[in-house]
Amino acid sequence: MYSRAHLLIAREYEKLQNEPLWGIETWPMYEDTIFEWMAKINGLVNTPWEGGIFKVYIKFDEHFNVRPPKMSFQTIPFHPNVEVSSGRPCVDFLDDYEKWNENFSLSMLLLSLQSLLANPVLKNAVNIDAAQMLRNSPQSYYQMVQECVVASQRVEAGGSPYIGTADSKVRFDKHPPEGVRTAPTRGVVRVSKLSFEDYHKTWSGIATSKTSANAVNPLLESIKDQHTLQKVHLGLPREEVEEQMRKQMEDHNTLMYGKFKSKVSPENVREARLAQLKKMKKIYLAPRQSPLPPNQDIDLAAALPGLQTRDDGNEGWEKEVDDLVKWTNNLDSNAIDAT
């Protein structure tokens, strides 16, 4: 099963094969992927770039056509809008995703590069030397363009690209960009049909939700005896994946529902309540000077006989707590605030 980006790229390739562009040739670099292309762009007729042959590397990703592909000249021309070191063309919709439109086709991108060669933009130029030469000495610039054209033809014929002096401003990158495999080959891209059963099996294996807790994963079932495919699909041994899933579920349950401990014993409950009782005694029975006349002082012993020390076993402390709460409700708030 192919991704959305893969299908869109395959459609672009088929369109270019059925409706070829003048002076432009494209092909996937490898038979096992459609995401890396090489294009060959010829200079437009009746322009200084006529006769030039320039190779362009095109790198797609899974976000195509939401985001544009990365494009760079491998035969790097001496041009105000082409970076000397990387060969990257300075085009606004390739650099700024906000200016990219999903309706832009690969044909339009290639035609834009072909037109850019003959129509340089001096504003915000990335090759300062080329921009200054074109502005101050157009004749020298067009002479350099002719040098680029001849050198590109030599490269296409398999010869050395450099002509003239060693400090020539014309650069030709013999190697693809970093991370790109070498030895490009032309291959035919075949888009095969996919049955619904295979489609359902694959997506059921990728899906993160299940119809029921005991639902069987059909993809894992189909590769359970093929360890190589399991390793490719899971990326880790099955045991490690299951352990990671168990830990993730524990973390999820802790975040959603809290971490529950084992059932608390009656002894622990009793100790916790006694600790709470002592804390309440320190808060409400702390020594304080009463602002009332001596004959109006609160008689704590008479007001709350339950606070007296009890030795009648473990059941009396519960009544003591209730009495303490009742006593706090009957306190004179004015007398407490004046203390």
Torsion of CA 49, 55, 61, 67, to 10 degrees: 0
**90 among known catalytic residues:** yes
Contact 335, 290 (CB under 8 A): yes
- Amino acid making up residue 271: E
Residue tagged active-site, from 34, 44, 90, 304: 90
Contact 100, 68 (CB under 8 A): yes
Please write down the HEC assignment for all residues of the chain.
CCCHHHHHHHHHHHHHHHCCCCCEEEEEEECCEEEEEEEEEECCCCCCCCCCEEEEEEECCCCCCCCCCEEEECCCCCCCCECCCCCCECCHHHHCHHHCCCCCCHHHHHHHHHHHHHCCCCCCCCCHHHHHHHHHCHHHHHHHHHHHHHHHHHHHCCCCCCCCCCCCCCCCCCCCCCCCCCCCCCCCCCCCCCCHHHHHHHHHHHCCCCCCCCCCCHHHHHCCCCHHHHHHHHCCCHHHHHHHHHHHHHHHHHHHHCCCCCCCCHHHHHHHHHHHHHHHHHHHCCCCCCCCCHHHCCCHHHHCHHHCCCCCCCCHHHHHHHHHHHHHHCCCHHHHHHC
- Residues designated catalytic: 90
